[in-house]
Chains A and B, each alone.
Chain A
Amino acid sequence: AEDTGLRVELAEDDDCSNSSLGLRLWVEDPKKLKGKHKDNEAIEFSFNLETDTPEEVAYEMVKSGFFHESDSKAVAKSIRDRVTLIKKTREKKPAGC
């Protein structure tokens, strides 16, 4: 996946049954971001696989002042990449992970 300079990881173990995930995002390579942002800060948030979209969460992060508008695409992409990976992992291990 193209590196956005952002890192998204599960904030807690994925029990594979809950559609709501706890994710954590932080800036790994500040040079790759265009706008101002806070270094060394991780943002933990919940993401519902059925109702949420990466773009929506990225928009909310911009609105909350975590990132500049110009970086919302990178934020959405990094969330999307991680969520896609989690969905694939869940498909491989359907029975309670």
Chain B
Amino acid sequence: TDSFDFSRYHTISEIYSFQDMLVAENPNLVSKIVIGSSYEGRPLNVLKFSTGGTNRPAIWIDTGIHSREWVTQASGTWFAKKIVTDYGRDPALTAILNKMDIFLEIVTNPDGFAYTHSSNRMWRKTRKPNPGSSCAGVDPNRNWDSGFGGPGASSNPCSETYRGPRAHSESEVKSIVDFVKSHGNFKAFISIHSYSQMLLYPFGYTKTPAKDQAELHNLAQRAITDLASLYGTRYRYGSIINTIYQASGGTIDWTYEQGIKYSYTFELRDTGRYGFILPANQIIPTAQETWLALMAIMNHTYNNPY
């Protein structure tokens, strides 16, 4: 994986090969868990970074849940290499991995991602047909059983924010739900999107503040300060409903309600006017700056066990 070109966008098969190569190169640190399969039968691969122990407190990071947000899958690939490179070299990451596990799902919506390469670069949702409608796909960030079906999600299958027929109806979502529940010891859950440059915490479906709102807010502020220290990329931060808009059935509302305190959603850059079509030469700077914010959150999680 040393010759993998992180500064360009890759196809799903290239990313899947990268994952297998990374595991083969780092058998004592990285393993691959298939937590389920997508609607079209693609494996849902999760890389597990662990230095041993059983069921250690863990951190989850996912990228690519909205398939057209290419800089997120690309950053996820870079994060994977960063972890194996820095373990044993960076004291903070080494300390975290000596006590905690990190799980990274790079292509969280593989059918959608493949579809952005093959047919429609602007595809966002999953690809499962919706009976009775000519429009396919569910918004995987409106399909979680937390305020499901409330305002800020659509009941129209043709909408980009279609919530789905019922909560957890999409295998891409249900697989994560089942995995998180069966693991039972996640302490942080980070879901990564693009391109509004924000760091968000629960809730999206209700104005009721999260119990840990003050701590989450302060940690978010520290994280985005670290992020901005590299290239000056400015982020907004706050609860989803107060910072962007009401959105029900969202990922981190569900994870927070499962008791995973450090639940965050990133919206990565575009600092210019490219939106989802971020030039490939911005992949590595985006990943580098985001990593600083991720480390802030992971460090805090490690230093504040609960």
* B is bound to A: no
Which residues of A are interface residues toward B (Cβ below 8 A)?
none
